[in-house]
Amino acid sequence: MKDMYRDILDSTNNELLAQLLGATTRSVRSMASAVTFMAFEQLRSQDADLQRSARQMIKRMHAINLDLDKQLEMTSNLLGRSSHNALVEPVELSSKVSSAAK
């Protein structure tokens, strides 16, 4: 009987840990989106150095987002869910870049 309760407790803790990991990954994803958005805004600057830095940041954030996608997939697998179902909500970012910033 004691082992049965331990198994239930372990599975509950694992579920909570997986949910926490999903929430943490979502928070990091939100922060990455904000940094990416800021970089797109910086592309509008007339300063060539700032534009170059912004392009580098966008590339870095893309790599980070690919890693976050993998983390969300693994967390979804832990929870037994489709990665596109319950852990993330799609967000579209858009920014109009002036022709001088290109």
Query: Which among 66, 74, 75 is positioned nearest to 29, based on CA atoms?
Result: 66
87 pLDDT higher than 50? no
Please report the pLDDT score of residue 63 as a whole number.
Answer: 94
Mean pLDDT, range 14-24, rounded to an integer:
83
What pLDDT, in 10s, does the model give residues 55-78? 999 999 999 999 988 888 888 887
pTM value surpassing 0.85: no
11 pLDDT higher than 90? no
Distance CA 53, CA 55 (A): 5
Polymer length of the chain: 102
